[in-house]
Amino acid sequence: NAGVMQNPRHLVRRRGQEARLRCSPMKGHSHVYWYRQLPEEGLKFMVYLQKENIIDESGMPKERFSAEFPKEGPSILRIQQVVRGDSAAYFCASSPDRGAYEQYFGPGTRLTVT
């Protein structure tokens, strides 16, 4: 049973470019969460999605960031016009249902903006 998969594992973008991060949840999981982690910090919640719906985006910056979880395919976190401050590790987690508090994490995507 494959775990949560994220790709790419490392992504380097120049300022102003777009970054697309992908997350495939565990088989049977329809709930996806995105987190951002800065060095020496804990995880900061960004957005929670269910298939085709954004449930909670209270942690998402208002501009340049968007997320989707289409009916088919992985969840995508998109960052437009990246800036140096976007450099961080982005983690995706999944759970089988809304009431399941335990989340299964992917290995993360490390974004570096040069």
Partner 1 sequence: SQQGEEDPQALSIQEGENATMNCSYKTSINNLQWYRQNSGRGLVHLILIRSNEREKHSGRLRVTLDTSKKSSSLLITASRAADTASYFCATDSGGSYIPTFGRGTSLIVHP
Residues that bind partner 1 in the complex, under the rule CB under 8 A = 4, 33, 35, 40-45, 48, 56, 91, 93, 98-99, 101-108
Residue among 27 and 44 whose Cβ is closer to partner 1: 44
Query: CB of residue 81 vs partner 1: minimum separation in angstroms?
Result: 27
Residue among 40 and 72 whose Cβ is closer to partner 1: 40
Residue among 17 and 43 whose Cβ is closer to partner 1: 43
Query: CB of residue 16 vs partner 1: minimum separation in angstroms?
Result: 27
Q: Are 11 and 18 in contact (CB under 8 A)?
A: no
Q: Put residue 84 in one of left, alpha, beta given phi > 0 → left and psi -120 to 50 → alpha.
A: alpha
Query: CB of residue 48 vs partner 1: minimum separation in angstroms?
Result: 6
Query: CB of residue 78 vs partner 1: minimum separation in angstroms?
Result: 20
The CA distance from 48 to 34, in Å, is 7
Distance of CA 31 to the CA centre of its chain: 12
Closest CA to 36 of 15, 16, 13, 6: 6
